[in-house]
Amino acid sequence: MIEKLNKAFDAALRDRDIADSLRQSGNIPSGGNAGDFQRIIDEESRNNRAIIQQAGLAAK
């Protein structure tokens, strides 16, 4: 199921109108697999560690 959703999202992100709409709203459209997404989350967590700790956020 995850792979099927991933393929659908990747296809949608290749659509110029969808990608442009995402960019206009301040997002960076990028595809990839679950591992790619985890690496992004890990990097963002490291980069924003102080904010995360200050807000008292934690993974469940």
Question: Which pLDDT tens digit goes with each residue over 8-40?
Answer: 999 999 999 999 999 999 999 988 888 888 998
Per-residue pLDDT, 23: 96
Q: Which two tokens stand for residue 50?
A: 């102080």
Domain range spanning residue 17? 2-55
The answer to whether 38 touches 28, Cβ cutoff 8 Å, is: no
Residue 60 lies in a domain: no
Instruction: Tell me the one-letter amino acid at 49.
Output: R
- In 3D space, the residue among 39, 24, 30 whose CA is nearest the CA of residue 6 turns out to be 30
Residue 40 lies in a domain: yes
Query: Which DSSP category does 48 fall into?
Result: T
- In 3D space, the residue among 40, 26, 33, 25 whose CA is nearest the CA of residue 4 turns out to be 33
Residue 37 lies in a domain: yes
Residue 47 lies in a domain: yes
Question: Is the pLDDT score of 50 beyond 80?
Answer: yes
Question: Is the pLDDT score of 1 beyond 90?
Answer: no
Cα angle 35, 23, 49 (rounded to 5 degrees) comes to: 50
- Count how many domains the chain has: 1
Residue 17 lies in a domain: yes
Per-residue pLDDT, 31: 85
Output the pTM of the full model. 0.58
